[in-house]
Amino acid sequence: MNDRYDSVILHFIARVVMAPLIIVFGLYVLLHGELSPGGGFQAGAIVAAALLLVRLALGNRQAALRIPQGLLIWLACIGLGIYMFGGILPLILGANFLDYAPIPVEWYNQFAGEHRTPRAMGILIIEVGVFLGVVAVLVLIYDLIAGSSRQ
């Protein structure tokens, strides 16, 4: 599990074909979460599965160099911080905790050319935070288990 298994077909399929497709689908599930099935947790699980696929194919020692453990812990904390930001921002603007109604979205709608409601914007902020936390913690659990294995 920690060592590299030398096979060109395995590395090509895992790194070039499968992992980018899975990551793009996960980001679609994240960004389309308030309209279609999906959301932050599902997108995080899908993207974490793609990262674990690369780790299984390349061997943990080589793949873990790209995303070190400290960065994963920071990503999980940043995700929690984004969630707290999405909860406290309406509190500052004069509404209840996690009540997205007063979030300003006019600048975003002008910038992106969409017609997003404040609640959809708030849900998107929350889901980005959940996404970062789920991805970082799932990959971190795998790294810790693989780091303590004998092979």
- The rounded distance, in Å, linking the Cα atoms of 105 and 119 is 10
Q: What is the CA radius of gyration of the chain?
A: 18
End-to-end CA distance of the chain: 7
Contact map string, positions 56 to 85, toward other proteins, x by CB under 8 A: x-----------------------------
Query: Which tokens sit at 31?
Result: 């960004």
According to the binding rule CB under 8 A, does residue 39 interact with other proteins? yes
For other proteins, the closer of residues 115 and 150 by Cβ is 150
- Of the pair 29, 103, the CB lying nearest other proteins is at 29
Helices marked H in the chain — which ranges? 8-12, 19-31, 40-58, 60-63, 69-92, 106-112, 118-147
Task: Give the one residue of 45, 80, 93, 125 binding other proteins; rule: CB under 8 A.
Answer: 45
**Around Cβ 22, how many Cβ atoms within 10 Å?**
18
Based on the shown chain and the rule CB under 8 A, indicate whether residue 123 belongs to the binding site for other proteins: no
Q: Which two tokens stand for residue 105?
A: 């979205």
Question: CA-based angle 128:96:79, to the nearest 5?
Answer: 20
Over the window 126 to 145, marking each residue x when it contacts other proteins by CB under 8 A and - when it does not, the resulting string is ------------x--xx--x
Alpha carbons 132 and 59: distance in angstroms, whole number: 23
> How far apart are CB 67 and other proteins at their closest, in Å?
16
150: contact with other proteins by CB under 8 A: yes
Task: Compare residues 101 and 141 and give the one whose CB is closer to other proteins.
Answer: 141
Q: Residue 39 or 79: which CB sits closer to other proteins?
A: 39
Residues that bind other proteins (CB under 8 A): 1, 29, 37-39, 41-42, 45-46, 48-49, 52, 56, 138, 141-142, 145-146, 148-151
